[in-house]
């Protein structure tokens, strides 16, 4: 199945495919290992900063090589802010593009998202394109801050309906109180708004929840039952990497072989991803 088909299956069966951001080989190994153990489809995401670090062709080649081990992996160009950067990702071989025009005016967001959709589909009709409506604040860090949200930050259901029709996107990223990173306050998701968005947007459009790291398990489950079929995790994976690295260095003060130090780090991250896959209900879906 391609990504659109898997997301459709997830939506109809009320589970979600996990999207995990990576910026090094260890994280890729952890995502693929967890997916394989769980018999689950996964999305591997790279933000503009992450893919600049890898190099576009390098990350595409890496993920393609890991597909020999587990084919149910989809590479997403996460939070792409310009049309040209989206085109570059398409040309490099990404199977999914997230165009983030949330900081633009509604008219410009719609226009540029449609440009990305049209270009991607002209190159490969199976490329899945995600647009974003509403503004998800924060950053993928542990901030120790309180993030204030305004009513204008949230996705408007009526605007969502028009946006999807006008752009032709396959997925819609929404803002319903979700906040990037792990902050002082736990996000308070507006489930009534989520229900309105799900009702306004055609069933074949996947609803995407970014910033899943700071959201409680209970709210994640409720979001999935309310129509979310794709959830992003970044900060928690970064934390697992850093804490695992610190622990590995502490436990092995005289070890200098990176691959030996990395083994425990990958294992810790893999364990976290397996837990997330189970929470999302996507385990066993590729049997």
DSSP code of residue 223:
H
Q: How far apart, in whole angstroms, are the C-alpha atoms of residue 147 and residue 137?
A: 8
* Confidence grade of residue 151 (pLDDT, cut at 50, 70, 90): low
Q: The tokens of 107 are what?
A: 């008219």
In sequence order, which ranges of the chain are alpha helices (DSSP H)? 3-13, 25-38, 48-54, 56-66, 83-92, 106-123, 157-167, 191-200, 217-225, 235-251, 258-280
The whole-number pLDDT of residue 135 equals 73
Q: Is 262 a catalytic residue?
A: no
Per-residue pLDDT, averaged over 111-130, amounts to 98
d(CA 41, CA 17): 6
Predicted local distance difference test score (pLDDT) of residue 187: 67
CB atoms within 10 A of CB 2: 14
| pLDDT 10s digits, 249-278 | 999 999 999 999 999 999 999 999 999 999
Residue 147's pLDDT band (cuts 50, 70, 90): low
Nearest residue to 190 (alpha-carbon basis) of 209, 170, 168, 171: 209
3-state secondary structure of 243: helix
Residue 87 phi, psi dihedral angles, 5° rounding: -60, -40
Confirm if 182 and 213 have CB atoms less than 8 A apart: yes
d(CA 200, CA 97): 23
Task: Say whether pLDDT at 137 is over 60.
Answer: no
Q: Is 59 helix (H, G, I), strand (E, B) or coil?
A: helix
Q: pLDDT tens across 9-23, in order?
A: 999 999 999 999 999
pTM of the model as a whole: 0.93
* pLDDT at residue 7 in the model: 97
- Which pLDDT band holds residue 146 (cuts at 50, 70, 90)? low
Is 150 a residue whose pLDDT tops 90?
A: no
Mean pLDDT within 93-104: 96
The single residue of 78, 100, 219, 283 carrying the catalytic annotation is 78
pLDDT value for 183: 47
Query: Where do the structural domains in the chain lie, given as residue ranges?
Result: 3-280
Q: Which of 191, 186, 194, 193 is nearest to 212 (CA)?
A: 186
* pLDDT-derived band at 99, boundaries 50, 70, 90: very high
> Counting every residue, how long is the chain?
287
Region 46-69: mean pLDDT is 96
The architecture (CATH level 2) of 3-280 comes to Alpha-Beta Barrel (3.20)
Residue 97 to residue 170: CA distance in whole angstroms: 10
User: What count of Cα atoms within 13 Å lies in the side-chain half-sphere of residue 194?
Assistant: 23
**CB 47, CB 59: distance < 8 Å:** no
Instruction: State yes or no: pLDDT of 181 exceeds 60.
Output: no
Give the end-to-end CA distance of the chain in Å, rounded to a whole number: 12
Query: Residue 122 is encoded by which pair of tokens?
Result: 């002209």
Beta pairing partners, 133: 174
């Amino acid at each position: 199945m391609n990504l659109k088909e898997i997301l459709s299956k997830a939506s109809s069966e009320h589970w979600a495919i996990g999207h995990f951001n990576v910026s090094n080989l260890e994280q890729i190994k952890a995502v693929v290992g967890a997916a394989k153990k769980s018999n689950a489809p996964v999305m591997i995401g790279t933000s503009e900063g992450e893919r600049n670090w890898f190099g576009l062709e390098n990350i595409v080649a890496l993920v393609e090589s890991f597909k020999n081990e587990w084919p149910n992996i989809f590479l997403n160009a996460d939070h792409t802010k310009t049309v040209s950067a989206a085109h570059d990702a398409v040309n490099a071989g990404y199977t999914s593009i997230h165009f983030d025009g949330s900081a633009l005016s509604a008219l410009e967001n719609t226009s540029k998202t449609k440009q990305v959709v049209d270009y991607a589909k002209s190159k490969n009709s199976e490329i899945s394109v995600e647009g974003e409506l509403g503004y998800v604040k924060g950053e993928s860090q542990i901030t120790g801050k309180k993030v204030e949200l305004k009513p204008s930050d949230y996705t408007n259901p009526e605007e969502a309906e028009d946006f999807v029709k006008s752009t032709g996107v396959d997925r819609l990223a929404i803002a319903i109180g979700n906040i990037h990173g792990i902050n002082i306050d736990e996000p308070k998701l507006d489930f009534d708004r989520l229900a309105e968005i799900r009702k306004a947007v055609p069933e074949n459009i996947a609803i995407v929840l970014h910033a899943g790291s700071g959201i409680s398990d209970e709210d994640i489950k409720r979001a999935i039952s309310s129509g979310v079929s794709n959830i992003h995790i970044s900060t928690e994976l970064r934390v697992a990497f850093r804490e695992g690295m610190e622990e590995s260095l502490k436990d092995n003060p005289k070890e200098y072989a990176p691959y030996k130090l990395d083994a425990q780090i990958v294992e810790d991250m893999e364990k976290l991803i397996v837990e997330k896959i189970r929470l999302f209900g996507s385990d066993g879906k590729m049997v």
